[in-house]
């Protein structure tokens, strides 16, 4: 069987200039009184995509979802689905369904009746309902729980009922607002994979809202990072992490070290950065940063090597003192105070049981990294 990863790797319609977007937010603005919750935002989502809207509380992600579902209308701009302008179309006539948290299940109804509810409302013939419910129960692996009530299920099982209920009507697009918010960490992780699997099996387009970056990174084909009603970047998880477009994105996703500085010299191969606090850094790719420009050099902690001696081959090596060590089991995080005062975070995987180069608090240490290990940000 092909793993999910190998299936998804081939899926990248956003790179195909001929691919038609399925959902389009076209200069959408949403105001509540004087307050602008969504500000002239444009975004495209492709059919069968697992798309995540990621942002801090209040950035407007739920508002975007609610406009797509039809619970709110944009103040300005258009939302198109498969080329059709959705304005004025009521929620129940849109090929879109919203999955609500598991506590929105009907407590007095059995699992199968919960799943059948929407189908009955639509007047689907009884034998068809029975067949569809059976199919859904199988899909979420709850066949033997059909007759139970929600309170007789675990949190994860309830979540699966909520999911089955929301996909029973075969919407083209499923909207999920913090779908795993009520689950504990372990169950969340399991359910993330179940969601991805289900989305693949059904061939649906998923738009999920989350404030949890790990969740977005795990599940989504692409992530839109939002701030104050605007899109900061739309990209695949590896791009968001390895090539953040701005300081905001670099900070928002994962841990990062930032060196403020200026582009001191550009040649065809390398760029030299003069750090504001004195560090000299050589990078391979400085993007469009011109000589003399104020920039930030951003580098992830796991791309930095820490050692007690200066590595002979290092292009970039900075000296300092071990300020703090956090042993996390699978990895160790070091905070090193460079001699120029800047604090640097470096993490090492504990692949072996004994570290080769044991460093302790207040030891002199070198942090080193390759010239292609970080990114130069101009925004």
Binding window for ligand ATP (CB under 6 A); candidates: 53-61, 189-197, 239-247, 358-366? 53-61
Shortest Cβ 62–ligand ATP spacing (Å): 3
Closer Cβ to ligand ATP, 8 or 211, answer by number = 211
Binding window for ligand ATP (CB under 6 A); candidates: 61-69, 130-138, 196-204, 270-278? 61-69
Q: Which of 78, 149, 169, 211 binds ligand ATP (CB under 6 A)?
A: 211
Total binding residues toward ligand ATP, as defined by CB under 6 A: 12
Question: Considering only residues 228-267, where is the footprint of ligand ATP by CB under 6 A?
Answer: none
DSSP secondary structure letter of residue 200: H
Shortest Cβ 274–ligand ATP spacing (Å): 39
Q: Which of 63, 157, 199, 205 binds ligand ATP (CB under 6 A)?
A: 63
Q: Which two tokens stand for residue 221?
A: 């084909």
61 contacts: CB under 8 Å, gap ≥ 6: 53, 54, 55, 209, 211, 226
Confirm or reject binding of residue 37 to ligand ATP (CB under 6 A): yes
Q: Which of 52, 54, 59, 180 binds ligand ATP (CB under 6 A)?
A: 59
Closer Cβ to ligand ATP, 47 or 227, answer by number = 227
Confirm or reject binding of residue 301 to ligand ATP (CB under 6 A): no
Closer Cβ to ligand ATP, 31 or 370, answer by number = 31
Closer Cβ to ligand ATP, 234 or 322, answer by number = 234
SS3 354: coil
Confirm or reject binding of residue 210 to ligand ATP (CB under 6 A): no
Closer Cβ to ligand ATP, 168 or 207, answer by number = 207
Closer Cβ to ligand ATP, 6 or 57, answer by number = 57
- Lay out the sheet containing 230-235: strands in order across: 96-99, 173-177, 205-210, 50-55, 222-227, 230-235
Q: Please, what's the largest Cα pairwise distance for the chain?
A: 76
Shortest Cβ 180–ligand ATP spacing (Å): 14
Shortest Cβ 112–ligand ATP spacing (Å): 32
Closer Cβ to ligand ATP, 86 or 198, answer by number = 86
Report whether 283 contacts 270 (CB < 8 A). yes
Q: Which of 21, 51, 52, 55 binds ligand ATP (CB under 6 A)?
A: 55
Shortest Cβ 178–ligand ATP spacing (Å): 7
Q: Measure the CA–CA gap between 195 and 192, rounded to whole angstroms.
A: 5
Produce one character per residue of 338-369: b if its CB has 16 or more CB atoms within 10 Å, e if not. Answer: beeebebbbbbeeeeeeeeeebeeeeebbbbb
Report whether 225 contacts 233 (CB < 8 A). yes
Q: Which two tokens stand for residue 14?
A: 């956003």
Closer Cβ to ligand ATP, 60 or 156, answer by number = 60
81 contacts: CB under 8 Å, gap ≥ 6: 22, 23, 24, 68, 94, 95, 96, 172, 173
The DSSP code sequence of 92-155 is GGSSEEEEPPGGGS-TTS-HHHHHHHHHHHTT--HHHHHHHHHHHHHHTT-GGGTT--GGGS-H
Q: Which of 3, 6, 18, 57 binds ligand ATP (CB under 6 A)?
A: 57
Closer Cβ to ligand ATP, 118 or 181, answer by number = 181
Confirm or reject binding of residue 35 to ligand ATP (CB under 6 A): yes
User: Would you tell me how many other CB atoms lie within 10 Å of the CB of residue 93?
Assistant: 10
CA atoms within 13 A on the CB side of 357: 15
Shortest Cβ 40–ligand ATP spacing (Å): 15
Q: Measure the CA–CA gap between 95 and 296, rounded to whole angstroms.
A: 44
Q: Which two tokens stand for residue 290?
A: 């011109």
Instruction: Give the interface with ligand ATP as residue ranges (CB under 6 A).
Output: 32, 35, 37, 55, 57-63, 211
């Amino acid at each position: 069987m092909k793993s999910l990863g190998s299936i998804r790797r081939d899926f990248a319609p956003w790179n195909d200039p001929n691919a038609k977007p399925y959902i389009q937010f076209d200069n959408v603005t949403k105001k509540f009184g004087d307050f602008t919750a969504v500000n002239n935002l444009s975004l495209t989502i492709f059919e069968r995509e697992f798309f995540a809207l990621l942002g801090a509380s209040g950035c407007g992600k739920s508002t975007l979802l609610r406009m797509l579902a039809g619970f709110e209308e944009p103040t300005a701009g258009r939302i198109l689905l498969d080329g059709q302008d959705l304005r004025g179309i009521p929620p129940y006539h849109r090929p879109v369904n919203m999955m609500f948290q598991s506590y929105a299940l009907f407590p007095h109804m059995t699992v199968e009746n919960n799943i059948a509810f929407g189908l009955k409302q639509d007047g689907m013939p009884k034998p068809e309902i029975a067949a569809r419910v059976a199919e859904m129960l199988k899909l979420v692996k709850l066949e033997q729980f059909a007759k139970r009530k929600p309170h007789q299920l675990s949190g994860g099982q309830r979540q699966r009922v909520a999911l089955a209920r929301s996909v029973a009507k075969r919407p083209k697009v499923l909207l999920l607002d913090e779908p795993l918010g009520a689950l504990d960490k372990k169950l969340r992780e399991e359910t993330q994979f179940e969601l991805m699997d289900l989305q693949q099996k059904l061939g649906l387009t998923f738009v999920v809202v989350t404030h949890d970056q790990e969740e977005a990174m795990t599940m989504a084909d692409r992530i839109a990072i939002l701030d104050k009603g605007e899109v900061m970047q739309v990209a695949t998880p590896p791009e968001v992490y390895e090539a953040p477009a701005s300081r905001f994105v670099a900070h928002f996703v994962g841990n990062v070290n930032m060196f403020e500085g200026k582009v001191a010299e550009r040649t065809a191969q390398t760029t030299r950065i003069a750090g504001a606090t004195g560090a000299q850094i050589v990078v391979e790719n400085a993007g469009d940063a011109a000589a003399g420009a104020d920039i930030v050099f951003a580098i992830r902690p796991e791309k930095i090597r820490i050692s007690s001696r200066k590595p002979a081959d290092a292009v970039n090596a900075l000296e300092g003192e071990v300020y703090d060590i956090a042993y996390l089991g699978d990895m160790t995080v070091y905070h090193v105070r460079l001699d120029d005062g800047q604090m640097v975070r470096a993490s090492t995987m504990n692949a072996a049981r004994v570290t080769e180069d044991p460093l302790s608090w207040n030891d002199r240490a070198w942090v080193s990294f390759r010239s292609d290990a970080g990114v130069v940000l101009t925004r």
